[in-house]
Amino acid sequence: MNCNRKFIYRFLFVIIYFLIFEAININPAFNSNSTGAFIQKSVDDIDQTVFSKDKLATIISELDMNGIARILAHVLVFGCLSLIIIWALNVYDISDFYKILISIVICSLFGLIDETIQLFIPYRQFRYIDVLKDDVGAIIFTCFIYSPLRNLYHIQKHRFLKLV
């Protein structure tokens, strides 16, 4: 199959992934207050024999679970997006450095698009810090997940070729 056609098919997968993410993201159930409301309801439902509600509410509010969940969501979604973009770029014979660089740039652009879309949603807002979280997710996944796995793949492939 032609490399360009294969890349187009793979990049369509990237676009579909992003569109699914956007469809979930614009849902009012996933706004920033819903996680906090869920945690508060969970605290209210806890039996007082295990913990006092006040003590547990204080611990949870100190942890700021809503903020942690939002950071992890940005990092995971855009980290996975960066890996899918690298997979799409694997049809071309370019160095891993450029694949990682292109992946991070595309993820950053998608992060800007995501935040720009949120300008038009009543309960959402544009935040530069969210674009930064997206970039951090892409960098973490490409540098600390893709690169070591790629090196491990090359080592295993090289060992196998020596055995044959």
C-alpha–C-alpha distance, residues 129 and 131, integer Å: 5
Helix, strand, or coil (residue 49): coil
Q: Is the pLDDT of residue 21 over 60?
A: yes
Residues 155, 38: Cα–Cα separation, whole Å: 46
Residue 92 has pLDDT above 80, yes or no: yes
**Exposed/middle/buried for residue 23 (C-beta within 10 Å: 0-12, 13-18, 19+):** exposed
pLDDT in tens, 120-162: 887 788 888 889 999 999 999 988 888 787 776 665 555 544 4
Q: Minimal CA–CA distance to 9: which of 88, 109, 105?
A: 88
pLDDT of residue 164: 41
Task: Please tell me the predicted confidence (pLDDT) of residue 112.
Answer: 94
SS3 annotation, 68-116: HHHHHHHHHHHHHHHHHHHHHHCCCCCCHHHHHHHHHHHHHHHHHHHHH
Instruction: Name which of 44-48, 62-66, 76-80, 152-156 the model is least confident about.
Output: 44-48
Question: What does the pLDDT read at residue 116?
Answer: 92
Rounded mean pLDDT, 10-15: 90
For the segment 39-64, the average pLDDT, to the nearest whole number, is 55
* Predicted TM-score (pTM) of this structure: 0.70
